[in-house]
């Protein structure tokens, strides 16, 4: 009888260890292979990867040359999801309180902590998609209840992009100024911390 109880405890312990190992491997975050222009070096380590779907939003505006217009990105609008389709963050442009500049921002969907970042490298991997980029933290803000999920971010990479390029039509002259285009895209966002 004692031996039967020992075997049951052993089997239960093995089951618990297997569950822990599976959970750990499911949560392991492996950085993607990227061009050298957007690499993130150690001691930075991946802590979150989100799969984004949304739009790159453009507006037809005057550009540097007098009388010329072009599509200008005014904000991305995307939601990032995890491996089991749980919502992780939203992504958009907003003013960074640390600088007073509009930057790319990500807000955690649970604790509403926010990170703002500036591009420090890019690489065109697919001519039919927006570039892959490396962004460095430019500011963070805790959520209203003290949440800090994204406050530890040091770098973010946008990789595996599909779509999102500015249109090639619809913005040719001054009469087109103010027109908007919402271009669908997908990408993976990789968040690093020190």
**80-128 residue pLDDT tens:** 999 999 999 999 999 999 999 999 999 999 999 999 999 999 999 999 9
pTM of the model: 0.83
Per residue in 20-64, pLDDT tens?
Answer: 333 333 344 777 899 999 999 999 999 999 999 999 999 999 988
Mean pLDDT of 69-86: 96
pLDDT at res. 65: 75
Confidence tier at 15 by pLDDT (50, 70, 90):
very low
Q: How far apart are CA 104 and CA 106, in angstroms?
A: 7
CA distances from 83 to 39, 77, 128 (A): 23, 20, 26
Q: So what's the pLDDT on residue 1? A: 52
**What are the φ/ψ torsions at residue 20 (nearest 5 degrees)?**
-60, -45
pLDDT in tens, 119-130: 999 999 999 999
In angstroms, rounded to a whole number, what is the distance separating the alpha carbons of residues 47 and 29? Answer: 6
Structure tokens at 82: 């995890």
Name, in order, each residue with C-beta under 8 angstroms of 66's C-beta and a sequence gap of 6 or more.
Answer: none
């Amino acid at each position: 009888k004692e031996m039967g109880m020992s075997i049951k405890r052993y089997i239960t312990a093995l089951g618990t260890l297997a569950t822990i190992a599976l959970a750990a491997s499911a949560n392991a975050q492996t950085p993607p292979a990227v061009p050298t222009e957007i690499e993130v070096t150690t001691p930075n380590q991946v802590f979150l990867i989100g799969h984004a779907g949304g739009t790159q939003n453009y507006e037809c505006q005057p550009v540097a040359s007098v009388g010329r217009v072009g599509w200008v990105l005014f904000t991305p609008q995307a939601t990032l999801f995890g491996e089991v389709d749980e919502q992780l963050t939203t992504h958009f442009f907003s003013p960074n309180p640390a600088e007073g500049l509009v930057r790319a921002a990500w807000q955690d969907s649970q604790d509403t902590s926010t990170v703002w970042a500036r591009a420090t490298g890019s690489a065109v991997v697919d001519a039919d998609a927006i570039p892959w980029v490396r962004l460095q933290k430019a500011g963070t803000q805790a959520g209203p209840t003290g949440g800090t999920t994204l406050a530890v971010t040091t770098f973010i990479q946008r990789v595996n992009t599909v779509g999102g390029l500015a249109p090639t039509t619809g913005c040719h002259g001054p009469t087109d100024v103010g027109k908007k285009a919402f271009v669908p895209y997908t990408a993976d966002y990789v968040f690093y911390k020190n």
